Chains A and B, each alone.
Chain A
Amino acid sequence: MGVQPMRRNRIDWALGAVLALMVLGASACGSSSSSSSSAKLPTSIGAGEGELNLVAWEGYAQPEWVKPYEAATGCKVHAKYAGSSDEMVALMRQGGSGYDMVSASGDASLRLIRGGEVTPMNVELVPEWKNFIPQLQSPPHNTVDGKHYGISLQWGPNTLLYNTQSVKPAPTSWAEIYNGKYKGRVTVPDNPIQIADAALYLSKTQPSLGITDPYELTEAQLNAAVALLKQQRPQIKKYWALASDEIELFKNGDVVIGAAWPYQYSTLIADHEPVQQIIPEQGATGWADTWMLSSHAAHPNCAYKWVNWVSSPKVQAQQAISYGETPVNTKACAYMEQIQKGSCEVYHANAPAAYFNSIKFWKTPVKECGNGQNNCMDYSAWQQKWTEVTS
């Protein structure tokens, strides 16, 4: 016991030393560095580098088309699945040369371009690009100042997924996940962009708020959407982070209805689960994805080979049916019919422009509203509000 004071003294000394180091460190650091990307477009695709590292949505690197690609090009594919656009941006930012390509959605692509994480690509090296639907050849979310920062891939709506045995009558409206009918058995994505779903719903049910674009919200409009989500919160079983989470929740009977991607629907149907998905009467948000090339890519030739592979009508058809989305290549329709009769129609591969225009595609919320005003809430405000909703 006699040593006790000595020992305490020493512990206090150690604590003091740590504090002093912290202060020293704080005063010593403080430099800044920045990097810029200026790359010349390649004019031909060279030999493959043997490897390709992808950041992808779950379901975007299925063996069905990855295996033949590996066999044809000798590029071994490593895919890292991300659960949200935010995660994709973070992975590309922190990954350095660890990742070659990312399957960015419209709400991530501009952030990646402005941050210098991705580099322009030469569309001349992707012959199939000319067969893409005109809206997605040079869309504003991946083409800036005439430079193509990537090759469009697939697009589709976010759907309302439900268990056909527990949810009766069949839903027709997004109201079912807000009105408390399925309390404690609802799931929605753990993703700030989910606020846009609430805003879309409000734009139809409360026209007085004057929401015209669910991604361009003034403070009052954002608060209204957040209030709706906070009221929804007690009905939520779990905010899902990965598609596989939601699949498990539906399988175990923990949830019976929720916002989903077509991928969850096709996976559950393949396992003979009693589920159905719809685009409710209020319409839907959706995504248009782009394969973008990292500005630090270590395997650019394999990357160009990859975009050519996934742009080909056959792989476009395979992925569209596997995931349940719409291919950008207009030539894919014939292959889809070969794989599954009637699928071209089901997955809207021959749909008119009206269908494309009915989907509110994900984009990054910024201060500038589309109407020339500058009073919209930017993405960091959305992220903060989302934390308030889910915590």
Chain B
Amino acid sequence: MASNALAARSARTRASAALFRRPWLRATLLLSAPGAWFVLIYLAALVLLFVSSLWSVESFTGKLEHTWTLENFETLVKVPAYRTIALRTVGIAAAVTLTDALLAVPFAFYAARVAPKRVSSFLFVAVLIPLWSSYLVRVFAWRLILAHDGVLNWWLEKIGLGSVNIGYSNWAMWIVFSYIWLPFMILPVWAAIERVPSSYLEASADLGARGWRTFRSVLFPLIVPGLAAGAIFTFSLTLGDFITPTLVGGAGSELIGNVVYQNVGVANNIPFAAAFAVVPVIVMGVFLLLARRLGAFEAL
């Protein structure tokens, strides 16, 4: 009995001693699980996406044909409709990012620097609360607000401004996207503004700079990483979305996500969907390189 326990202990001691002497082995054992997850689930999915974009489907039966072809990418480049959709997607994503940045900076500045502590905490909760409700519910709410006989037009009629016809249009899509992704812009900008020491702003004032000059030359350069970090969220989230365009978009509001969804779920052309999905991957790659230049990764 005693010798058994002793043997067990000595085995354990030897094992731990072996691990102690070989740090690389320790690291390998520790990282193998998350590493395998990353490679199998994350990278393998990307690889599959890329590989299947080089296949094709038989047009009548919709069966997958495993022969290599660049046909899908050719269609993407040749058919003007897909170019329009890709440009529209990037355009809307850029417009949403810009709108959110313009809304987030004054809001975050007020919340982080001007508002008293209690108001500031209230604002923090107010920004986060919409994230607790379902995305779909919020989009549907906007659909009801912007509809022809919706809340917005009802109010406009009440105050005598007539009615606007923006339900089911690109305008509706822009408004809803800007609303939905706003918290993702506010939070990093808020953090960036909070991080700027007060002494910088005071020094700027001492040197005779007025508010605007201080903002332009001192504050803004320091919060650019925060803006870039927020832009990564708003831009990439808009780039991949297909639910908002489906629900509040109108004729000619299709984004890349819709074409991908239709090709997978409706037309059963997975290779073409994969080929089109490579486009946002490339756009995002370029965007991330730019964001890295602006130091966004330091503000994450």
Contact = CB atoms under 8 A, between A and B. Distances in A.
Given A11-B292, A184-B165, A252 B148 contact: yes
A173 interface: no
B47 A30 contact: no
Given A94-B268, A379-B59, A237 B168 contact: yes
Contacts of A11: 292
A238 B60 contact: no
Interface in B42-71: 43-44, 46-48, 50-51, 54, 59-63, 65-68
Contact of B61 (A86, A90, A91, A115): A115
A285 interface: no
A18 interface: yes
Interface in A356-391: 364, 366, 378-380, 383-384, 387-388, 390-391
A179 to B, nearest CB: 17
B266 interface: yes
Contact of B46 (A18, A32, A111, A116): A18
Nearest to B43: A21
B251 interface: yes
Interface in A1-57: 7-8, 11, 15, 18, 21-22, 24-26, 29-32, 34
Contacts of A234: 251
A15 B284 CA distance: 13
Contact of B267 (A90, A241, A249, A378): A90
Q: Size class of B's contact patch?
A: 35 or more
B251 A378 contact: no
A15 B43 CA distance: 11
Instruction: Name the residue among B54, B167, B264 with the largest chain A CB count within 10 angstroms.
Output: B167
A336 B165 CA distance: 43
The 6 closest A-B pairs by CB, nearest first: A115-B61, A380-B59, A25-B47, A90-B268, A236-B251, A252-B147
B251 A89 contact: no
A119 to B, nearest CB: 15
Contact of A390 (B82, B147, B167, B252): B252
A58 interface: no
Instruction: Name the residue among B66, B249, B264, B267 with the largest chain A CB count within 10 angstroms.
Output: B267
A22 B81 contact: no
Interface residues of A, number: 51
B201 interface: no
Contact of B62 (A21, A22, A90, A249): A90
B268 A89 contact: yes
Contacts of B147: 252-254
A182 interface: no
Instruction: Name the residue among A89, A90, A115, A239 with the largest chain B CB count within 10 angstroms.
Output: A90
B61 A114 contact: yes
Contacts of A89: 62, 268
Nearest to A88: B266
A87 interface: yes
Given A90-B268, A241-B246, A252-B150, A378 B59 contact: yes
A304 B79 CA distance: 45
A84 interface: yes
A233 interface: yes
A204 interface: no
A238 B168 contact: yes
Interface string B74-87: 01000111101100
A24 B264 CA distance: 25
Interface of A: 7-8, 11, 15, 18, 21-22, 24-26, 29-32, 34, 83-84, 86-87, 89-91, 93-94, 111, 114-116, 184, 233-234, 236-239, 241, 249, 252-254, 364, 366, 378-380, 383-384, 387-388, 390-391
A124 B128 CA distance: 63
B202 interface: no
A31 B136 CA distance: 40
6 contacts: A24-B47, A86-B266, A237-B168, A249-B168, A254-B147, A388-B79
A111 B252 contact: no
A172 B231 CA distance: 52
B106 interface: no
Contact of B51 (A26, A83, A254, A388): A26
Given A32-B66, A115-B63, 16 more contacts: A22-B46, A25-B48, A34-B63, A84-B266, A86-B267, A87-B266, A90-B268, A114-B61, A115-B61, A234-B251, A237-B251, A238-B168, A252-B149, A383-B267, A387-B81, A390-B252
A7 B80 CA distance: 40
B84 A115 contact: no
A386 to B, nearest CB: 10
Main secondary structure of the interface of A (DSSP, over half): helix
A232 to B, nearest CB: 9
B100 interface: no
Contacts of A391: 81-82, 84-85, 252, 254, 259
A93 B297 CA distance: 43
A22 B50 CA distance: 7
Nearest to B167: A254
A7 B254 CA distance: 38
A84 B261 CA distance: 14
Given A111-B60, A388-B80, A253 B252 contact: no
B91 interface: no
A241 B66 CA distance: 31
Contacts of A236: 250-251
A379 B266 contact: no
A25 B61 contact: no
B81 A388 contact: yes
Contacts of B149: 252-254
A254 B267 contact: no
Nearest to A385: B81
Contacts of B267: 86, 90, 383
Contacts of A115: 60-63
Contacts of B68: 30
B265 interface: yes
Nearest to A364: B60
Contacts of B168: 237-238, 249, 254
Contacts of B254: 390-391
